[in-house]
Structure 1
């Protein structure tokens, strides 16, 4: 297997985690997710390095679930920083598996992912409506924490928030968001 083939399989695997059979076949978000995968996840707050590391670990989860040796993943996929897509999917998995797991409801990884995408303002960016400049502006605003203090325009919006979410690590934002919806 070549590096390009493995990278394609990895992207396809990630896409399948959040764009599975629940979505109409005619509706594709490949352009958006590919763009997010080609944009590095950078962070302003030190503790958000954990989200970066979770994104890197997603590569090894892919390897484990698909029978690839860790050395193959290290040599072929670990040649770049964590992408925005990897961070978002890894965070969605962590929220589902570590906090919100409910076997009666089933896996909601995609739901958490699309909640964040929608809150960012990217929910309408399917392949037919994809606007690269707009997506880049929106993601840059998120990465530079230029969204509203209540999180609007970031990953999570909290009504009656007593904190400026621009100064709070992503994990706390996520936990407070989940508390607000349960």
Structure 2
């Protein structure tokens, strides 16, 4: 397998984790997902480095689940920083597996991912409506933390007064969002 084929396989694996008829409404979002994978996840709060590490670890999870050796993953995939797509998928998986797991409902990794996409304002960026400039604007707003105090325009929005989501690490933003919007959040 060439490194190009490995990268294609990895991208397809990530996409299938979050894209199915249940969450993507039978629309294709390949252009958006590709673009999210091309943009480096940068952060200003030190603890958000954990989100980047989770994104990098996603590569090794892919390798483990698909019987690729760690050296192959290290040389074929782990040659660049974490992408926005990797961070968001890894965060969605952590949300599902560590906080919101409910066997009666099933795996909702895609729900958490598309919830973030909608919160960013990218939910309408299907392939037929994809606007590269708009997506870049939205991502820069998110990465620079130029969204509203309540998180609107970022990954998570809350109604709690007195908090400035721009100064809070992504993990806590997610926890507060879940607590406010989903009964099963623990």
Which band: TM-score by shorter chain? over 0.9
1:129 to 2:129 alignment: yes
Count of residue pairs the alignment pairs up = 181
Shift of 1:162: 2.4
**Equivalent-residue separation in structure 2 for 1:114 and 1:10 (angstroms):** 19
The answer to whether residue 94 in structure 2 is matched with residue 104 in structure 1 is: no
TM-score (norm 1): 0.97
Q: Distance in 2 between matches of 1:50 and 1:106?
A: 26
Q: Distance in 2 between matches of 1:21 and 1:68?
A: 28
| Gap regions ≥5 residues in structure 1 | none
User: Structure 1: how far apart are the matches of 2:164 and 2:149?
Assistant: 4
Deviation at 1:20, TM superposition (A): 2.0
Output the CA distance in 1 between the equivalents of 2:129 and 2:71. Answer: 39
TM-score w.r.t. the length of structure 2 is 0.95
Deviation at 1:24, TM superposition (A): 4.7
- Displacement over 4 Å in runs of 4+: none
1:175 is matched with: 175
Write out aligned runs for 1:1-182 (5 A). 1-22=1-22, 23-25=24-26, 27-181=27-181, 182=183
Aligned residues: CA RMSD: 0.9
Separation in structure 2 between the aligned mates of residue 36 and residue 113 of structure 1, nearest angstrom: 12
CA distance in 1, matches of 2:117, 2:79: 26
Q: Distance in 2 between matches of 1:162 and 1:105?
A: 34
Structure 2: which 5+ runs fail to align?
Answer: none
